[in-house]
Amino acid sequence: MSKDYTVGDLVAEFLTAAGVTTAFGIASVHNIPMLDAIGRRNTIRFMMARGEMGGAHMADGYARVSGGLGVIFSSTGPGAANAVGGLIEARFAGSPVLHLTGMTSTKFADRDMGTVHDPIDQVGMMGSVCKAAYRVRSANQALGILTRAATEALTAPTGPVSVEIPIDLQREKIQRPAMLDNFVLPIPPARTPSDAEMDELAARVRAAKRPMLWIGSGARHAAPEIHKLLDMGFTVVNSINGKGTVPDDHPRSLGGLHGNGMPKVQEFYATVDLLLVVGSRLRGQETGDFAIKLPANIVHIDVDPAANSRTYLDQYFVCGDSKLTLGALLPRIAGKLMIDPTYTEQFTAMKTGARADFLASLGVYSTFADQLRAVMPADALWVRDITQSNTTWGNRVFPVATPNQSVFPVGAGIGQGLQLGIGAAAAANGRKTVVISGDGGFFLNVAEWWTPIQEELDMTVIVMNDCGYGVIKRIQDSTQGRRFFADLKSPDLEKFAAVSDVPYFRCSTAESFGETVAKAIAIKGLTLVEVDMNAVGEFPAYYPFNLKPAG
């Protein structure tokens, strides 16, 4: 090893040893030594974002699809602050993201001396949005801090962790740590509940005659065990972040039809005598801010002890890994369930009716999910921004087969879909990535459009263009009875595509949506589809904006 081995070299070698093959971000005055080492080693593909927020979202999307660590390099001070929006979304989604940033020289740090990008308490800023944040205070502790940070990011409940390394320490020469030769992150083993806990859980499950699962992102790795419960007679509904753990079109799955504005679903919940919640927060977004009346008998499995009755009251809580816990449950209940013989038939009828009612509420857009599913490859990644289409058919009824196919802004932030899609496409491993966005969200971070062009990613981007913030207009209609500041003047998308030398397609009728997208998907590389919503027709008010005023 060279006598000129530095902390910057250590960072690059550590990431490779931790299994990182792709990273995102921007080169800046306070991270050049780390990125120089990455460039010289040439074991990590570094994708240049146009802004730190975009890079953080890319690292998040990459982590969700790859199942590994997403890495974002940012500048210091304003640059690190720019990454905050992406890290907050990673925290919402539980994505294991490692944020690496620099700092002014150690002797100047936190002294307000006016050096370049001179932040005060940058660690405190990052710690407020991440699981944890650290500063490397000496060259010798760099490997220990990096190991701790990556381990925390990947330990359930997973999430983003930030590490700050002052510029002088990045350049400091050190002895290469010998432990990097056979390095393994010390991820702690997941918890299996005790026999006593499992016996009690099994007794409660065996007592149920009409059991339903509610699964979230914490149950993604437990798909085989969940399918065995379905074979035993359970039905299932999933959070949007748990989408694909059970395919939405599975006959015993409601998918994302949680019950918001769906009387048939809510009536069925009243007949369920056990709701087994696995790896889900029962989020307010999916329960009408907890207004939906779920079954009274809720039994909850989650690796996070703080999940116990955090939203709905749990009758029994088991702290444990979802896969290990369900794996221990299955032999305890096999052949011992007494499922109501009418349960499956009633569930099927309810699902058919609820889905039909929901699609009917979408007016001219009611066929879009089926049209897109018919032309999109089965293994394609389905990435969404916050749009009326995503909030309705994109989240609720568009089927995906595996959980890492579905990526969306869990925190409901607009303008994140394109960057999440770029990160997803970077991890796609030959699969097509399809992104859907509104025009408002697309143009919010349009500078990142040139990242997939430069990186030659295989993406089709669908822009639902209604020349405004459609979701905001619906909220204004419902709460204010008038609209302000929601109409947008944006560039012509066909000309925009031409400037970037990207194939462009326009859809002007509802019936032509699928065939138009199919033409774009057939082309390898980046393509753009514009859905002219003013020509197709106005998107109808949907729940809760379609409720009649009281009185």
Whether residues 177 and 199 share a domain: the answer is no
Whether residues 381 and 526 share a domain: the answer is yes
Evaluate if residue 236 carries a pLDDT over 90. Answer: yes
pLDDT, tens digit, for every residue of 340-355? Answer: 999 999 999 999 999 9
> What pLDDT is stored for residue 267 in this prediction?
96
pLDDT, tens digit, for every residue of 392-447? Answer: 999 999 999 998 999 999 998 999 999 999 999 999 999 999 999 999 999 998 99
Whether residues 324 and 404 share a domain: the answer is no
Whether residues 263 and 222 share a domain: the answer is yes
Establish if 547 belongs to a structural domain.
no
d(Cα 181, Cα 178) in Å, to the nearest integer? 6
Mean of pLDDT values over 156-164: 97
**Helix or strand holding residue 274 (H, E):** strand 274-278
Establish if 541 belongs to a structural domain.
no
Establish if 281 belongs to a structural domain.
yes
d(Cα 246, Cα 253) in Å, to the nearest integer? 7
CATH assignment of the domain containing 254: 3.40.50.1220
Whether residues 323 and 367 share a domain: the answer is no
Establish if 27 belongs to a structural domain.
yes
Whether residues 385 and 346 share a domain: the answer is no
Establish if 237 belongs to a structural domain.
yes
Do the bridges between strand 161-166 and strand 132-135 make them parallel or antiparallel, or are there none, so unpaired? parallel
Evaluate if residue 295 carries a pLDDT over 90. Answer: yes
pLDDT, tens digit, for every residue of 59-81? Answer: 999 999 999 999 999 999 999 99
Classify residue 5 as exposed, middle or buried by CB count within 10 Å of its CB (0-12, 13-18, 19+).
Answer: middle
Establish if 190 belongs to a structural domain.
no
What's the number of domains the chain is made of?
A: 3
> Distances in Å between the alpha carbon of 491 and those of 386, 497, 502, 523, 537?
20, 10, 15, 24, 21
What is the chain's length?
A: 551
Whether residues 249 and 118 share a domain: the answer is no
Whether residues 66 and 209 share a domain: the answer is no
d(Cα 529, Cα 524) in Å, to the nearest integer? 14
> Which residues neighbour 203 within 8 Å (Cβ) at sequence distance 6 or greater?
none
Whether residues 124 and 231 share a domain: the answer is no
Establish if 312 belongs to a structural domain.
yes
Mean of pLDDT values over 256-277: 95
Torsion of CA 118, 120, 123, 127, to 10 degrees: -130
pLDDT, tens digit, for every residue of 101-140? Answer: 998 887 777 767 567 677 788 999 999 999 999 999 999 9
Residue 295's SS3 state is coil
> What pLDDT is stored for residue 550 in this prediction?
44
> Is this prediction's pTM over 0.75?
yes
Whether residues 257 and 217 share a domain: the answer is yes
Query: Which residue, 352, 379, 409, sits at the end of a domain?
Result: 352
Whether residues 225 and 125 share a domain: the answer is no
Whether residues 92 and 32 share a domain: the answer is yes
Establish if 544 belongs to a structural domain.
no
The residue range of the domain holding 333 is 195-352
> What pLDDT is stored for residue 36 in this prediction?
96
Query: Which residue, 126, 152, 182, sits at the end of a domain?
Result: 182
Ranges 34-43, 101-110, 230-239: which has the least confidence: 101-110
- Token pair for residue 414? 């607009």
Query: Which residue, 132, 161, 182, sits at the end of a domain?
Result: 182
Place of tokens 């390898």: 524
CATH assignment of the domain containing 108: 3.40.50.970
